[in-house]
Amino acid sequence: MALRWLCAMLLALPGVWGVCQQPPRFVFAEPPTPLKESYPTGIELRYKCRPGYVMASGKSPKVTCLSNSSWSATSDFCIGKSCGLPDIRNGKFNYTTNLLFGATITYTCNIGYRLVGKPSAQCVLKDKEVYWDNIPECDSIPCSPPPVIENGQLINGDRDFTFGMAVSYSCDRDFALIGNATIHCTVDDNLEGMWSGPAPECKVVRCENPKVKNGKRLSGFGTKHTYKNTVTFGCNPGHLLNGSGVVTCEADSTWKPPLPTCDPIYCGPAPQFLFAESERAVGDSSLAGTKLMYRCKPGYTAAHGMSSVVTCLSDGTWSADPDFCIRQECPHPMIENGDVIADNFLFETVVTFICHSGYELKKSSAKCVVSGDGVDWDTAPPYCKRQFPDVLCGEPPTIDNGMHNGGKDTEFVHGSTVAYKCNDGFILVGEAFLQCIARDQYSGVWNKPPPECRGGANIIIVGILPLLLAMLVMNI
């Protein structure tokens, strides 16, 4: 009896003889019925997709009892049906997985629309089909009628206004529109319709005729000025604009920014020049645009192509041509028996002089100075005086067959020169001129030995002998 009970227990244990217990259960599929308490190894059961699910492509709905008493099956062989894209006008939906059975989505509306209904939906089963259990609507957001204004009117204001629509205003004659002429329907944080701004005003705006001392108008001429009229100012010569040069007539009938001022511009003291002076006296300051005429100082003259007018500029500085006066030139000095040393002969130049040998300079320099309406040397040109005036040479040496031109004089002063010549038939050999030079401060001497006069025949023979020999050689 005990053995029979033990055998029954062993047969009932799973896996002992290769049997499987009841097949697995799936959310998406159901096994064939009726179910048994156990199944033998190798048996296959074909499952059927539950409502809301369909067979997955490429997968088998069969499960098999294995030799280890477990069931084998492919995963997710049934998948949920798709609810498809929900149709929501003027809106869109958001999802994080898919659109299959069991999925949940949320709705949002486009700008200018607000959601009417639940903000989410689920893909659910009904009558063995799936569908979205909720599709809300996106209604356009309306604005209340636009505000009316005094002394003006709406353009196309007799209609309903929703998000994005605009309305414009205009003013009656002689009234200016202050603010934005157009406002549009928008929304607040609570998705309630509201206008983008307040309605404009229609006002009478008149600004006084603007005037700026020492200034002038460059635009905006006329005497009547209304809202947003502009006037542009500039300053008269010698004045600097302080403030904005462009002003606008604003809603409170005043000019903004405030009218500018034209402040005078001054230069400092008139410039000083070494070569010129102003024709009239001026103070320590001069208004910009002031022109001063200068005249050249004595010793100077106007430079060609240069203006002697000096002008006070708008930046507070004086302008002038460079070196509009140049130095005058003295006559070129000359000195007998000497030379002048100088780079030029212009006003205030000092020149120096040197004498030739044998002469003594009595004054070494001269300066070019003012003289009348021009310039001249401050003194008469110096001269070169002969040195050693009492130094004498005796009678020049006499020569044979010749003579000198000293005549019968027996004394010759320093620097005297005599010339020698030969009688006919004789030729002069040596220096033809002798000069009396100083030996010391008391006596002189002739600077060279006298020449000689040699016989002319001997010289002719010496000179003609080579010619005769050449003629004999050539058999002439």
Q: What is the pTM of this model?
A: 0.48
- Does residue 156 form part of some domain? yes
CA dist 461 to 69, 129, 422, 427, 468, Å?
Answer: 168, 163, 19, 14, 10
Place of tokens 């016989």: 455
- Does residue 208 form part of some domain? no
pLDDT at 458: 52
pLDDT at 2: 44
* Same-domain pairing of 399 and 445: yes
Of 179, 183, 184, 174, nearest in space to 201 by CA: 179
pLDDT at 204: 95
pLDDT at 363: 79
pLDDT at 469: 47
- Does residue 210 form part of some domain? no
Which domain-ending residue is among 307, 327, 347?
327
pLDDT at 470: 45
* Same-domain pairing of 121 and 146: no
- Does residue 157 form part of some domain? yes
- Does residue 148 form part of some domain? yes
CATH number at residue 243: 2.10.70.10
- Does residue 471 form part of some domain? no
pLDDT at 70: 94
Rg (C-alpha) for the chain, rounded Å, is: 67
Distance CA 351, CA 367 (A): 6
Domain count of the fold of the chain: 7
pLDDT at 207: 95
CA atoms within 13 A on the CB side of 314: 9
Q: Looking at this protein, which amino acid is placed at residue 377?
A: W
* Same-domain pairing of 119 and 146: no
pLDDT at 4: 45
pLDDT at 415: 79
- Does residue 476 form part of some domain? no
- Does residue 364 form part of some domain? yes
Say if residue 285 is exposed, middle or buried (CB neighbours under 10 Å; 0-12, 13-18, 19+). middle
Mean pLDDT (10-residue bins), the chain, 476 residues: 42 58 92 92 94 92 94 91 92 90 93 93 91 93 93 85 93 94 92 93 95 95 93 93 96 96 94 94 89 95 95 92 95 90 93 86 88 90 75 86 85 85 93 85 84 73 47 43
pLDDT at 440: 73
Collapsing DSSP states into helix, strand and coil, what is residue 5?
helix
Collapsing DSSP states into helix, strand and coil, what is residue 347?
coil
DSSP for 377-410 reads ESSPPP-EEES-TT-EE-PPPP-TTEEETTTT--
Domain coverage including residue 104: 91-140
* Same-domain pairing of 419 and 431: yes
* Burial call 162-191: b when 16+ CB within 10 Å, e when fewer: ebebebbbebeeebbbbeeeebbbbbeeee
Distance CA 445, CA 141 (A): 139
